């Protein structure tokens, strides 16, 4: 039976710490858009209040290139991608997207992961359970 619980995580250098309420029985997502590919993030989307920075807020910096205002946060010291925040009606409005690779004591190989074709802005196709074709 799936269950949401609170997990702790942080960046590589330890400057930023956070808590997130997640159900790790649900699939995490990977996207092949130009930014997500380079960040190598595996994410889970939660409501904003289910993600809390508990230490090091001053070590976080943000980046955005999209007109929809998604803000991608990372540690200014070690560069680790931590989360993003945005407001997209198709995702239920305001959200936080947690990089589950930054959770403490999590083996990423244990996660169910689905893949999104952001490279081609093909969101309506939905998630796929296999890697997108190389060169696609």
pTM of the model: 0.84
On whether residue 133 sits in a domain, the answer given is no
The CATH number of the domain holding residue 41 is: 2.170.150.70
**Secondary structure, 3-state, 45-90:** EECHHHEEEEECHHHEEEECCCCCCCEEEEECCCCCEEEEEEEEHH
Tokens of 32: 């092949």
Cα(41)–Cα(37) distance, rounded to whole angstroms? 8
On whether residue 38 sits in a domain, the answer given is yes
Statement: residue 126 has pLDDT above 80: no
How many domains, in total, are found in the chain?
Answer: 1
pLDDT tens digits, residue range 20-60?
Answer: 999 999 999 888 777 877 888 899 999 999 999 999 999 99
Beta-carbon contacts of 16 under 8 Å, excluding residues fewer than 6 positions away, are: 10, 53, 55, 56, 57, 59, 60, 75, 80, 82
Domain assignment of residue 56, given as a range = 5-119
On whether residue 95 sits in a domain, the answer given is yes
On whether residue 55 sits in a domain, the answer given is yes
On whether residue 125 sits in a domain, the answer given is no
Tokens of 85: 């925040």
């Amino acid at each position: 039976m799936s269950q949401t619980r609170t997990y702790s995580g942080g960046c590589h250098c330890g400057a930023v710490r956070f808590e997130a309420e997640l159900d790790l029985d649900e699939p995490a997502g990977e996207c092949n858009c130009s930014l997500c590919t380079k960040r190598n993030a595996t994410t889970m989307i939660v409501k904003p209040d289910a993600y809390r920075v508990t230490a090091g807020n001053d070590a976080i910096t943000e980046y955005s290139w999209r007109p929809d205002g998604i803000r991608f946060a990372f540690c200014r010291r070690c560069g680790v991608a931590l989360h993003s925040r945005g407001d997209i009606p198709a995702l239920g409005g305001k959200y936080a997207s947690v990089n589950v690779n930054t959770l403490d004591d999590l083996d990423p190989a244990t996660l169910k992961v689905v893949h999104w074709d952001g490279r081609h802005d093909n969101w309506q196709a939905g998630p796929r359970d296999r890697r997108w074709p190389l060169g696609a």
